[in-house]
Every structure is written in structure tokens, then in C-alpha cells.
């Protein structure tokens, strides 16, 4: 089984949704840099204050900050069971730092799961996205409605729209993806680690495909 996993794909491709399904099914630790930053913003820590304006505008948080955060998290004991990196690496320096970190904790990246999705669909998904303030579970106003409007099915928390899920910030995020993150697909392809999946098949089918692939 492949258990040290990177999830890649543009914003809205479904990394967070898939990560939550896989983490429960395969007992892996879910490491989402976006969630970590949003938690830090909520708690108004130094990290949160630093990250906030970058995130709100759709820009990337500086590499040295993000790399430090991931390094600390990956060194924790629970990650020995296997980890799902969601939203990291996003730049070449982050990818290079990750190989160093992996070496230093004697663990290897087993696979990079890449989710393909076309731009029109990304825009549609992100503009209708709602997220639980409490547990981070994702919803969509048309395609993934909660049972009770505005309330999380899983924990009863309130749903909200992320500040960076607006047209302007999304344009910036997609540009960062094209320019800085997409080249990593080549990088991981050359290392023989890349496995791509079409995220348009629906979340249950995608989960079935990816989880049976990871179990091999
Ligand atoms: P999405 O994949 O929908 O864009 P995330 O929740 O993964 O959203 O990330 C939200 C924001 O957090 C990003 O737009 C960026 O500002 C910041 N962020 C998350 N991960 C990274 C990273 N690896 N490097 C730099 N910034 C990051
Ligand atoms: Zn919730």
C-alpha cells in the first residue's frame, strides 16, 4: 500500500474532499497547509497574522514560512502511520525542501496523486463552495447541499464562504497554480511518482478509483 501521499491539483479540483474520504478509509494523517493557515488566522497567532493578507488575496504564503510549518508537522509521531499532503508542495523550492525533509525523517514519498479538472468546472465549484467553520468539511450550494441549509451535516457547525473564494482572488490563485504549481507535475513525472485522475467523475467514483489504486 502507498501511504506517504501528495495530493495535487488546481484549487477546486477536490483535493480537500478526497483527502477527508481517504484519511478515514486508510487511516492516514491529513496535512492541509490551507487548513493550518486558516486555523492560525482564526486563533490570531503570529503565523495567522502573517498569512492572512496573502491568503485573502489568493497569493502564496512565502516558502520559508510554509516549509517550516510542514517540517514541524511531518516530524510529529502520528505521521509515521502515513500522511496525505494536501496543498503542499505548491512551488519548486517547496518540493525540493520536501525531499530533504522526507530524507531527514527517513520516509519516502510513495506517490503523487494529481486531480485533473477543467477551468470552467473549477470556477463553478469554487464560486458555490461553502465550508464548515468548525471542522472544515466542504459543501456546494447546488451540488453538495447540507441536509439543513447553512449547517454542517457532520458536526452542526455553521457554513461560510471562504474570503478567497471570490472571482478576483480565484484568478490570482489559478495564475499561481499555472505558473508555480503545475510545473511540479513534470518534476514528479520524472521521478516516476505521478498518477493522474480525472476529478470530473464525481466524488464517490473518484474516491473508489484513488483508494483502490493506493491499496495496490
Ligand atoms: P485551494 O487549494 O482551494 O486554493 P487551500 O486551502 O489549499 O486552497 O489554500 C488556501 C490558501 O492558503 C492558498 O491560496 C495560499 O494562500 C495558502 N497556502 C496553502 N498552501 C500553501 C503552500 N503550500 N504555499 C504557499 N501558500 C499556501
Ligand atoms: Zn463541520
pLDDT tens by residue, 109-127: 999 999 999 999 999 999 9
Mean pLDDT calculated for residue range 51-57: 95
Instruction: Check if 107 is active-site.
Output: no
Residue 216: pLDDT above 90?
no
What is residue 173's predicted lDDT score, i.e. its pLDDT?
A: 95
**Whose grid coordinates read 506517490?**
111
Instruction: Check if 162 is active-site.
Output: yes
Residue 60: pLDDT above 90?
yes
Total-model pTM = 0.93
Instruction: Check if 129 is active-site.
Output: yes
Residue 2: pLDDT above 90?
no
Rounded to whole angstroms, how far apart are CA atoms 83 and 96?
18
Local confidence band at 140 (pLDDT 50, 70, 90 cut-offs)? very high
Mean pLDDT calculated for residue range 53-74: 96
- Sign for the CA dihedral angle at 18, 78, 81, 73 comes to positive
Ligand 1-lining residues (CB < 6 angstroms):
11, 15, 33-34, 37, 54-55, 58-61, 66, 87-88, 90, 94, 164, 173
Q: At a CB cut-off of 8 Å and minimum separation 6, what does 176 contact?
A: 58, 59, 60, 90
What is residue 158's predicted lDDT score, i.e. its pLDDT?
A: 98
Residue 106: pLDDT above 90?
no
Local confidence band at 183 (pLDDT 50, 70, 90 cut-offs)? very high
Amino acid at each position: 500500500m502507498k501511504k506517504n501521499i501528495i495530493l495535487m491539483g488546481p484549487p477546486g479540483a477536490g483535493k480537500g474532499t478526497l483527502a477527508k474520504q481517504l484519511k478515514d478509509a486508510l487511516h492516514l494523517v491529513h496535512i492541509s497547509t490551507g487548513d493550518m493557515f486558516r486555523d492560525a488566522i482564526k486563533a490570531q497567532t503570529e503565523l495567522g497574522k502573517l498569512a492572512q493578507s496573502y491568503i485573502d488575496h489568493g497569493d502564496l504564503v512565502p516558502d520559508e514560512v510554509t516549509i517550516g510549518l510542514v517540517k514541524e508537522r511531518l516530524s510529529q509521531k502520528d505521521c509515521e502511520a502515513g500522511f496525505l499532503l494536501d496543498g503542499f508542495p505548491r512551488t519548486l523550492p517547496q518540493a525540493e525542501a520536501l525531499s530533504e525533509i522526507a530524507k531527514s525523517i527517513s520516509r519516502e514519498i510513495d506517490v503523487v496523486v494529481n486531480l485533473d479538472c477543467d477551468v470552467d468546472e473549477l470556477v463553478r465549484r469554487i464560486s458555490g463552495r461553502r465550508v464548515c467553520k468548525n471542522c472544515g468539511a466542504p459543501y456546494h450550494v447546488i451540488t453538495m447541499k447540507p441536509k439543513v441549509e447553512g449547517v454542517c451535516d457532520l458536526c452542526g457547525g455553521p457554513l461560510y464562504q471562504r474570503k478567497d473564494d471570490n472571482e478576483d482572488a480565484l484568478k490570482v490563485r489559478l495564475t499561481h497554480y499555472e505558473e508555480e504549481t503545475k510545473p511540479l507535475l513534470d518534476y514528479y513525472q520524472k521521478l516516476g511518482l505521478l498518477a493522474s485522475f480525472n476529478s470530473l467523475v464525481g466524488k464517490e467514483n473518484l474516491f473508489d478509483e484513488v483508494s483502490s489504486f493506493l491499496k495496490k
